[in-house]
Structure 1
Amino acid sequence: MPPSPDADAKAAKQQFCNEVVRHLNQVAPVTARGMFGGYGLYLEGVMFALIADETVYFKVDEGNRGDFEAWKMPPFTYDGKGKPITLSYYEIPPPIWEDGSELQHWVERAHAAGKRAKQGKRRSRA
């Protein structure tokens, strides 16, 4: 019996995720965890990126937002109960993805944004 279309789609998503992690591991020890039909990408226990619909988005805050805006890259947006929800993750520019030294710099900045967000959550809980 052939695999179902859902199984094929899930396998394709997993393969894409594996390729992204393999590529990012050239510049940093990245891991992935499944979440909400996509994947969260982690470095040193901090989520710094996500994969949704075969697109990679990096964590953005005031420290690196200008980099993404200069490239006119869109933020990650999804439909939340009939209205668009925008998260603080922006699509990575394709030329950056292909340039190892630039990619490392962007990973570091996204990781720093992720750490700042994580620290902010800790403070707000205290």
Structure 2
Amino acid sequence: MVASDSFARFLREQLAPLGRVTLRRMFGKTGVFCDGLMLGMVTEDALYFRVDDLNRAAFAEAMAFPPLSYEKQGRIIDLAFWRAPDRLFDDPDDLLAWARAALGAARRVAAERGRTALRPDEP
């Protein structure tokens, strides 16, 4: 399920200090982008941040929740997105710190894929 309008508006406002924040529906969820890089996903108004080897330790608190996943051919595929703890929505500074760490992971993923710049057709 995609992000509600009010949750999407909240995220755009809270994450604005990072850069140009946009949200786009995809795969039945909502992708959260900053300057064209996907740092998070939303499903049922739950925010999941991108995780990689370099920010995994900083997101240890998120290990209390299952990662974002989907089923394919009878197997569960875990995505590299971990759920943000609800307490972050009451602490804008911590929310931004987690978002910065997720954006760092998004930049590393983009660099590995040879894509570092925003394409003109992207949100």
Same-fold call, TM > 0.5? yes
Q: Which residue type is aligned with residue 115 of structure 1?
A: R
CA offsets 1:26-53 (integer angstroms, 9 cap, x no match): 5434210110111111111110000123
| Structure 1: stretches of 5+ with no match in the other structure | 1-8
Rounded Cα–Cα distance in structure 2 between residues aligned with 1:79 and 1:54: 20
Name the counterpart of 2:11. Answer: 21
Which SS does the other structure have where 1:75 is aligned?
A: coil
- Give the CA deviation at 1:24: 2.8
Larger radius of gyration: 1
Kindly report which structure 2 residues correspond to 1:1-126, keeping only aligned pairs within 5 A, or say none: 13-25=3-15, 27-28=17-18, 29-71=20-62, 72-122=64-114
Rounded Cα–Cα distance in structure 2 between residues aligned with 1:22 and 1:44: 12
Q: More deviation in 43-52 or 71-80?
A: 71-80
Matched-pair contact (CA < 8 Å) for 1:77–1:87: yes
Matched-pair contact (CA < 8 Å) for 2:68–2:78: yes
Q: Which has the higher contact order (CA 8 A, sep 6+)?
A: 2
CA RMSD after TM alignment: 2.3
Q: Percent identity?
A: 27
Which SS does the other structure have where 1:122 is aligned?
A: coil
Matched-pair contact (CA < 8 Å) for 1:16–1:54: no
TM-score by length of 1: 0.76
Equivalenced residue count is: 113
- Give the CA deviation at 1:79: 1.3
